[in-house]
Amino acid sequence: MTTQAPESCPQCHGDNLYPDGALTICADCGFELDPSASTSSATDDDGPEFVVRDANGTPLADGDSVVLVKSLPVKGSSVTLKQGTKVKNIRLVPGDHGVDCRVDGMSLMLKAEFLRKA
């Protein structure tokens, strides 16, 4: 092979890749990557490749303020986040819980389906 295989998966950024014929496969997410193909679209480092949408379908961005649309119990704690609580300065992260934030001094990760843009 004359082309160099990538060091991490462009989709999930995992490093558990293995060759399978002409393709490189990510064992974590199953993404199939053709190392001989042009990589110009996969090297876009201007921002996140994912879009996080709130409960109404509005795209969220880093630094936005959101409001909880449902009361949520905090796992491993007796605290419940009440409906209508405003959360400021959110950060978007890839994964199951797409929003990283601080609420009442606690760092939490929330699912965007329980938030709406303020």
CA 15-20-26 angle, 5° bins: 25
Kindly state whether residue 48 falls inside one of the protein's structural domains: no
The domain tally of the chain equals: 2
17 touches 34 (CB < 8 A)? no
Kindly state the average pLDDT of the residues 13-24: 80
Task: Quote the percentage of the chain above a pLDDT of 90.
Answer: 48
Kindly state whether residue 57 falls inside one of the protein's structural domains: no
Q: What are phi and psi of 44, to 5 degrees?
A: -80, 105
pLDDT value at residue 43: 47
pLDDT value at residue 35: 67
Kindly state whether residue 53 falls inside one of the protein's structural domains: no
Kindly state whether residue 59 falls inside one of the protein's structural domains: no
Model pTM? 0.58
75 touches 61 (CB < 8 A)? no
End-to-end CA distance of the chain: 52
Kindly state whether residue 56 falls inside one of the protein's structural domains: no
In this model, does residue 34 exceed pLDDT 80?
Answer: no
In this model, does residue 92 exceed pLDDT 90?
Answer: yes
pLDDT value at residue 37: 63
pLDDT tens digit sequence for 47-73: 546 789 999 999 999 999 999 999 999
Tell me the residue range of the domain where 80 lies: 66-117
Type and span of the H or E element at 117? strand 115-117
Report the CATH number that the domain containing residue 103 is assigned in CATH: 2.30.30.40
User: What is the average pLDDT score of the chain?
Assistant: 83
- What is the band of 21 on the pLDDT scale with cuts at 50, 70, 90? confident
**Distance (Å, whole) CA 45 – CA 65:** 25
Clarify whether residues 29 and 71 are in a common domain: no
